[in-house]
Structure 1
Amino acid sequence: MSSAAKDIYNHGMALDPQNKKVQCNYCGEIVAGFNCLLHHLGGIRGKVGECQDTPPEVREFFKNSLSDVKLAANVNEIVDLYQLALPLKRDCPSSRTGNVVKRNKAENARSGGSKSTKCTFVDSITKNSLATISSNYYNRSTSERTVSSREGQISSLSLTKKCIGRFFYENGIDFDSAETYSFRKMMEVARIGIDIKRHIPSPRELKGVILDHELNEIQDYVKDIRRSWPSTGCSILLDGWIDEKGRNLINFIVDCPVGPVYLRSADVSALMVDNNALKLLLEGVIEEVGIQNVVQVISCTTSECMEAVGKQLMEKYRSLFWTVSATHCVALMLEKVGMLELVRQTIDKAKAITKFIYSRASILKLMRRHIGGYDLVKSSKIKAAMPFLTLESMLMEKKNLEDMFGSLEWQNSPWALKNDGKKVAHLVGDKSFWGEVTISVKAAIPLVRVLSLINEDGKPYMGFIYETMDQVKETISQELGMRKTQYIPFWNIIDEIWNTFLHSPLHAAGYFLNPSFHYTEDFYSDTEVVGGLLITIVRMVEDQAIQDLVSHQLNVYRGCHGGFKMGTEDDKQNHVPPAAWWSCFGGHCPDLQKIAIRILSQTCNGAESYGLRRDLAEKLLTNGRNLIEQQRLIDLAYVHYNLQLRHSKVRKKCKIEASEVDPMDDWIVDEAYAQEETEFQKWWPIIDRH
C-alpha cells in the first residue's frame, strides 16, 4: 500500500466493512473508497469532485502525494522517528558580523539559483514545508486503522451517536446541552437522518456507554504513542496556572514526535511551600512515564521552588534535564523590554492615542475608515507580545493616521477643539514619537517572531533554538544600525533570561548535531557549544566504553564521512528534519545516532502551544463529589484533553495573534474617560464592528 493510502484513513470514515463507501471528514461527501477520497482531498478531478472544505495544508499534502509518488515514498521511509525544525544563541560578539555578511550573501546566491548553505531564522519554516506536512499526517497509529475498520461495522445509528459523543468530550460541553433546542435545531440543519430523535444520545448514554467506548479508544491511542518513547525519548510538560480560588494547578503532558498525550492533573497548592512534597509528586510522574524514556522536564514558570525542585531531580536522575518553556522565557524578555524607560514611555504615548480613538465612537469610525476597516490595536494570546504587535500596527498605519488627523472631517469634529484631541493630534504628528516607535518595534518584533515560530504547530525545535536566539540578537543589532548604545540594553535582557532560565546543554548539543548548521561555512562551535554537547553525552550515557565510541563517531560526523556525506548531497540536510536525517544517514554511527535522535526529537516549548482549556481540570480537582462521579470526571478529563491533543496535530497552524481584541483591554478603555460613557453608549451601536 502506498504511503498516501496509509495516511488517508485519518481523513475519512468507512461506512461499510469493505471500505466501498467512505465519508469525507471535512465536507461529509460519500465517495467510492479511500482511493477516491485521496483524489477528493487532493483536488485532483477525474474520479471524484474536489472537496471545498479541505484545509489548505491537507489538500497540498495529498496533491503532492498524487503528483510525486516517489518523493512521498522517500519521505515515508524517514519519518518513523521524527518531527523537527528551528534556529540559536551565544555571546554574539560583534566580530561575528562577518558571519552575518556571509549569511546574507548565501541568501542572495539562493535567490539567483545557487545552492543554499543554511536554513536561516526567517526561512526555517519554508525549508521544511514538505517534511512538516508529512510529519503531521504520516504519524498514524495502528489502532486508528483498526478503529476505522471497526467503525465500518457499526450501524449508522450507533456511529452517529458516537461521533456526537466525541464532539461533547473534545469540547468539554455539558451533556444536558444535548436536550437544548439550539442543539436539536443544529442537528436538523445537518440532516443527519429522518428520525432525528433516534440519533441524538441522551445524557445518560453520554455519561455511560459512549464515554466508556471513547475512553477505550483513547487508551489504545495513548498506548500506541507510548511505544515510541523508548526510541525517540519524550519530554514532560508542566502546564500550570492559578485559578480563581487561588489554587496552584498543573496538567501533566508528555510530548514526543508521534504526538502529545495528557497524563493527569494535580492541585499542588499545598506543595508549593514544601519542595520535598513537590519533588515526590514529580518523581511519581517521571516513574510513570519511565525515567529511561524522559529526556527533559519543561517547566511553565521560573519560580524559585520549581527551580530548586528541578535541580534536585537532575541530581537524582543523571539522564534528566530541566528547563523552562521557550515561550514563557521569550515572553519574560518582552516584558523586560517593555520596562526599559524609552520603550515604556513610547507604549504609554501609544496607549494615549488608542484609548482616545477607541473611547469615542465617531473617532473610532473615522479611524477604521482611514485604515480600511481594520483594528489599530492588535491582541495576542501571549500578553507580553500585544504592546509590540500594536506598535508595529501603528507604525504600518502611520501615514493613514496622519491623514486622518489632517482630514476635514477631523478638523470639523468637536474633539479637535478639546485639549485631549489636540494632544493626540500633536502626538500623531510628532516625528520624535514615531522615531521611538521605530526603535521599540525593531528591538522587540524579532522576539515576537520567535514566539510565532515556536508556537506554530508544536514541532520539536530543539535543534534550532540555540541558533534562533543568536540570530535574534544579530537582527536587533542590524536593525538598530550596529550602534552599541542602542542594542546592548536589549542584548543584556536576552542574555539574562537565556543564561538564567532558558539555556540547557540540550540546546547546545542540538545545535551541534543539527546538520543544517553543522555542515555550513559559518558553523561556530565555541566552548559553550562543545561544553553543552559533552555534558549532554556524559549525562545520557553512563557507560565509559560507549562514551568512547560516541567520541570516535563524533569525529566521523565532523569529517562528514560515510552516510553523513550522502546526507549532505543535494542539500538534503536543509530539506529533511534533523532527527529524520539522523535516522536515515547516521546508521554507521549507531551510538551517536541514538543520542542525536533523542535530543533532536524534543521540543523546546512548553504546553502553552496546545492551548488546553482549564475549566475541566479545575472542576476535576474540586473535592466534594462521590467516588463514582469523581471517577467519571477523571475519565471525562482524560478523554477531553487527549482528544484535544490528538486533533492538535492536524489543525491549522496556531497564530499567537488573537482574532478579537478584548473590549476591556487597557489599550482601549481608560477610567479617565468615564464621564464620556453616556455618549460612548449612544454612538457604539452604529459602529461597524467588522
Structure 2
Amino acid sequence: MASPIDPTIEPSKEAYNHGMALDTENKRVQCCYCGKIVPGFNRLQQHLGGIRGNITECPDVPVEVKDFFRNRLMSVKVGHLVKEIGELDNPNPPLKRICTPNAKVNGVKSPRSVSSQNGNIIAGTGSSLSKPTCYYKRRLTSQNGNCDKDGVDSDSAMVKRSICRFFLENGIDFGAISSVSFNSMMNNFFKGDEIKRCIPTVPELRGWMFDDELHEIEKYVNNVRLSWAQTGCSVLLDGWTGHLGNSLINVIVDCPEGPIYLRSADVSPSTTGDNDNALQVLLEEVLEEVGIQNVVQIVAHTTSERLEEISKQLIEKHRSLFWTVSATHCMSLILDKIAMIDSIKLTLVKAKTITKFIYSRVEVLKLLKKYISSPDLVIPSKIKSAASFLTLENILDEKSNLKLMFSSSDWLSSSWSSSVEGELVANLISDSSFWGGVNLAVKSSIPLVKAISLLSGDEKTNMGFIYETMDQVKETICEEFGSKESQYTAIWNIIDEIWNTILHSPLHAAGYFLNPRLHYTEDFFSDTEVAGGLLITIVRMAADQCTQDLITRQLDVYGGCKGDFKIGTDNNSQKSLSPVKWWSRFGDHCPELQKLAVRVLSQTCNGAEVYGLRRHIAEKLLSSKKNTTEYKQLHKQAYLRYNLKLKQSKMGAKFDIISYEVDPSEDWIVDESYREVGSSRGVPSKVEPKCEV
C-alpha cells in the first residue's frame, strides 16, 4: 500500500513513496498501483501524473496522487516555456499542439510561427497563445474520471458509461438510445439540460465509449490470464445446435480470478467428411492458446460418443489433462431419470393437467392469483429438468390454498366448475393419493435441485466439495423416506449409475482428500475410490517420479496434521478460509503437495451453463462471413459482451436456478386439448381433455 501524499515535499522525493526500485541504481522502478516497470523515478512521476509523451499513464493511480504529480510537473514545464519564449499573456499554455502552421480552425488562421535564436520553431507571442487554435480532445476514460470530450463533468460522464455498459451487457441495440420510451424513462431521473449531458449519443456508444469499454475488459482479461500459471484453469465447453442445424460451441476459461470468454466456433461435421475433426482441432488450438501447462481439465457440457472419443485422444496426448462432464448436466440427467419412474411420471401428468387447465383459461387464472400466496403456480427454471420438480414443490406448498380455491363459492359459481375438465381438476385437488404422489416426487428430487444451486453458488471453485455434496444428497433422500430402504433404493441406484459412469473423476477424489475442511473431520473416510483417484491425480499432474515421491511423503505430514498443518487446524482456519487460501497459508513446508492441492482445489465441477451466456450473439458472429469488417466488429462485440457478463459473476452476481420468465410454450402451461375460441365470456369448451389420469 503506497503512502498518502505529503504536499510539502518535492515530487522527486515523493515519488519514492509510490514506486519500488528493482535495482540498486534505480534504473528499473515498479509502480505501486498498476505494477508497470518504468526507467527511473523521473519517468515514474510522469507515469503517475498522466503526462503523455515519454511514458503511458497509470490506470490505477488515486486521483489525489495523480493531481499532485501532474500539477507539479506542469508547473515545471510552464517555467521552462517561460524561460524560452519570454513572459506569456496566458499562464497556462498547452503542453502539446497537434496543429500545423497553416491550419485553420473555424476559418481563422493559426498564429504565425517564428524561429528562435537557436533555430527551434516557437509559437508567436501575444494574445494568440492565450487562445490556442488547436488542442487535444479529451475524453473520459474509466481510469481518470476527467471530463469527456465535450467538457461534461465526471459524474455525468460516469452516468453515460453506466448506460453504455448496460446496453453492452444486455445485448441491446445502440439505436434504442433514441427511442421515445427510453428518453421518457430517463426524463423521470434527469431534468432540462442535465439529460443532454447524461445520455450518450449513438455515435458515442459505437465510437469512443465502445473502444474504452473494450480496452478496459482487455485489461481485466489479461490480469485473469496471469493467474493461470499458479492456480491452473478449467476449459468449459458450451455447445448447442444452431437454428441452421449446425453444431456451435462457446469456450470459456474458468479460474478463481474469474471466468473469461475465449472464442466461439462452428464445429459441424461436413457432408464430405473434411471437417469431422473440427472440434478436436478447436480444442488443440485452445490448449495451445491457454497453455497446456495451465489447463487442469476440460469440462464438457454433455456426453456423446464423439466427445468420448475426442477426450480419449486428448488425454492420451496430454498426460496431465483431465476430461470431466458438467456436474449440473449430470444432475439434470439424474432428475430426468427420476421423472421417468412410473409413479412419479404419473404424478407429473396429473399435476400438468391441473396447471394446463388453470393457465389456459383466463377466468380460472385470475381466481388462482386471488388464492395462492406465491406469484405463480408454475416455477420456470434455467435448468429445464429442475422446472418440473420446482413446480411440484410449489404446488405442494400451495396445497391448502388450492383446496380452498376449488371449494370456494367463487369456483362453484363459475361456469368452469360444471365442465368435464373443471370437475376432473377439482377431483384431483381433493384426491389424497395425488398429494401422496406429489410428496414422494418432491422428496426424491428437491435435494438434487438444491445441490445444483449449491454447486452453482458463490463458491465456484467447488472441486473439493462435489464428493460431500453427492453424499449429502443421498443421505437427505434417505432421511426424507424415514430410512426405509425400499422407498429410496431406486433413487440411489439412479444417482450411483450417473456418478459411476459419467460424473466421477479422479480430480473429484483428490479434491475430497485435499480439502482440509473435510479431511480434518471425524467422519472423513478414504476408501479405495478416493485413494485410487488421488493416486491417479498425483501421477498425471506431477512433473516426474521425484516430484511424485515428494508428494507421497508430504501426504503423511498432511494426513498426520503435523507442522504448519497443525497450526492451521488448532485455530479452526480450515473452517473459515477457503481450501485454496488455507493451503496457500499453511502449506509452504510441503511445497510440492501445496502446488498440487492449490491447482486441484482451484477448479470448478460445473460447466458453462451456470453463466447463462446468450447464444444468439455467437450465432450472429458465426453466421457472418469471416475476414470481413462485419465479422471483426461482431467478434469485438461478442468478446466484450460475453466478458462483461462473466465479469459480473466475479463481482458477486449469483446464479439463480429460477428463471422468473415463464415460457408460453412450456408444457405445464399450454393445453392443446382446449381452444378458447369465440368465448369472450369464458364459456367452457366441449372438447374432451386428452390427458387421462
- Mark yes or no: TM-score above 0.5: yes
Distance in 1 of aligned mates of 2:168 and 2:424: 53
Q: How do residues 128-147 of structure 1 correspond to structure 2 at under 5 angstroms?
A: none
Aligned position for 1:55: none
TM-score after normalising by structure 1 = 0.75
Q: Are 1:608 and 2:609 an aligned pair?
A: yes
Cα distance in 2, alignment partners of residues 154 and 611 from structure 1? 34
| Paired residue secondary structure (1:263) | strand
The SS at the match of 2:674 is helix
- Which residue identity does 2:496 align to in structure 1? D
**Structure-2 separation of matches of 1:189 and 1:369:** 33
Post-superposition CA distance 1:63-84 (Å, at most 9, x none):
xxxxxxxxxxxxxxxxxxxxxx
**Residue 674 (structure 1) shift:** 1.5
Q: Give the alignment of 1:453-464 within 5 angstroms.
A: 453-457=454-458, 459-464=460-465
Deviation of 1:171 (Å): 2.3
1:3-60 Cα deviation digits (max 9, x unpaired): xxxxxx9xxx999932899xxxxxxxxxxxxxxxxxxxxxxxxxxxxxxxxxxxxxxx
Residue 225 in structure 1 maps to residue 224 in structure 2:
yes
Check whether the contact 2:269–2:276 (CA below 8 A) recurs between aligned residues.
no
Task: Look up the match of 1:261.
Answer: 260
Q: Do residues 338 (structure 1) and 339 (structure 2) align?
A: yes
The alpha carbon displacement at 1:491 in A equals 1.2
Distance in 2 (alpha carbons) for counterparts of 1:343 and 1:494? 16
Aligned to 2:164: 165
| Preserved CA contact (<8 Å) 1:188 1:196 | yes
- Which stretch shows the higher mean deviation, 461-470 or 236-245? 236-245
Give the distance between the partners of 1:416 and 1:195, measured in 2 at CA.
Answer: 58
Measure, in 2, the Cα distance between the counterparts of 1:321 and 1:192: 58
Q: Distance in 2 between matches of 1:509 and 1:328?
A: 21
Q: Structure 1 residues 420 and 597 mapped into 2: Cα distance closer, same or farther (>3 Å)?
A: same
Aligned-partner SS, 1:251: strand
Query: CA, structure 1 residues 432+415, in 2 after alignment: closer, same or farther (shift >3 Å)?
Result: same
Larger RCO, structures 1/2 (Cα 8 Å, 6+ apart): 1
Residues 147-180 of structure 1 show CA distances to partners (whole Å, capped at 9, x for unaligned) of 7543347666384554443333222222222333
Q: How does 1:330-409 map to 2 (within 5 A)?
A: 330-372=331-373, 374-409=375-410
Aligned to 1:17: 63
Q: Does 1:180 align with 2:172?
A: no
Q: Sequence identity of aligned pairs in percent? A: 56
Q: Which amino acid aligns with 1:258?
A: E
Q: Counterpart of 1:44?
A: none
Distance of 1:470 and 1:682 partners within structure 2: 53
TM-score (norm 2): 0.75
CA separation of 1:212/1:415 partners in 2, compared to 1, >3 Å: closer, same or farther?
closer
Map 1:52-71 → 2, pairs under 5 A: none
**Corresponding residue number in structure 1 for 2:56:** none
Q: Deviations over 1:271-321 (max 9, x none)?
A: 797653321210100110000100001111112211211111111111110
8 Å Cα contact 1:587/1:593 also seen in 2: yes
1:507 maps to what in 2?
508
Q: Which runs of 4+ in 1 moved over 4 A?
A: 13-16, 146-149, 152-156, 160-163, 195-202, 271-275, 679-683
Give the secondary structure class of the aligned counterpart of 2:460.
coil
Conservation of the 8 A alpha-carbon contact between 1:464 and 1:510: yes
SS of residue matched to 1:678: coil
Provide, for residues 527-568 of structure 1, a one-character-per-residue CA deviation record: whole Å limited to 9, x for no partner. Answer: 000000000010001311111110010000000111111111
How many Å separate the matches in 1 of 2:261 and 2:365? Answer: 44
Q: CA–CA distance in 1 between the matches of 2:401 and 2:649?
A: 39
SS of the counterpart of 1:672?
A: coil
Unaligned runs of 5+ in 2: 3-33, 35-58, 68-139, 685-693
1:436 aligns with 2:430: no
CA contact (8 A) 2:361 2:676 kept: no
What's the counterpart of residue 206 of structure 1?
A: 205
2:214 maps to 215
Per the TM alignment, residue 202 of structure 1 is displaced from its structure 2 partner at its CA by: 4.2
Q: What is the SS of the residue equivalent to 1:525?
A: coil
SS at match of 1:151: coil
The residue that corresponds to 1:249 in the other structure is 248
Q: Structure 1 stretch 278-287 or stretch 200-209: which is displaced more?
A: 200-209
Pair member with larger Rg: 2
Question: Structure 1 189/361 Cα, relative in aligned 2: closer, same or farther at 3 Å?
Answer: closer
Structure 1 residues 423 and 608: alpha-carbon distance in aligned structure 2, compared to 1, 3 A threshold: same
Matched position secondary structure for 2:382: coil
Report the count of equivalent residues.
552
CA contact (8 A) 2:268 2:278 kept: no
Query: 1:15, 1:151 within 8 Å by CA — same for their partners in 2?
Result: no
| Aligned residue identity for 1:556 | V
Offset of residue 376 of structure 1? 1.5
Residue 238 of structure 1: how far off its partner (Å): 0.7
The 1-side partners of 2:242 and 2:248 are apart by 7
Of residues 329-338 and 186-195 in structure 1, the stretch that sits farther from structure 2 once superposed is 186-195
| Inter-partner Cα distance in structure 2 for 1:653 and 1:574 | 22
Query: What are structure 1's unaligned runs of at least 5 residues?
Result: 3-8, 22-145, 684-690
Q: What are the within-5 Å matches in structure 2 for residues 626-641 of structure 1?
A: 627-641=628-642
* Residue 411 in structure 1 maps to residue 412 in structure 2: yes
Distance in 1, matches of 2:474 and 2:538, equals 28
Contact 2:303–2:325, Cα closer than 8 Å, also in 1: yes
* TM-superposition CA deviations, 1:408-453 (whole Å, max 9, x none): 3333333222222222222111111111111111010011001111
Give yes or no for the alignment of 1:466 onto 2:467: yes
- 1:75-101 CA-partner distances (Å, limit 9, x unpaired): xxxxxxxxxxxxxxxxxxxxxxxxxxx
Contact 1:275 1:308 in 2 (8 A): no
Answer yes or no: is the 8 Å Cα contact 1:395–1:434 preserved in 2: yes
Q: What letter is aligned with 1:227?
A: L
Relative to structure 1, the CA distance from residue 165 to residue 395 in structure 2 (aligned partners, 3 Å threshold; closer, same or farther) is closer
| Cα 1:681/1:626, change in 2 over 3 Å | farther
Q: Which residue of 2 aligns with 1:565?
A: 566
Alpha-carbon offset, residue 675 of structure 1: 4.7
Deviation at 1:646, TM superposition (A): 1.1
Q: Secondary structure at the match of 2:623?
A: coil
Pairing of 1:591-602 with structure 2 (within 5 A): 591-602=592-603
Change (3 A) 1:600 1:503: same
Q: Are residues 1:556 and 2:557 paired?
A: yes
Q: State the AA in 2 paired with 1:18.
A: E
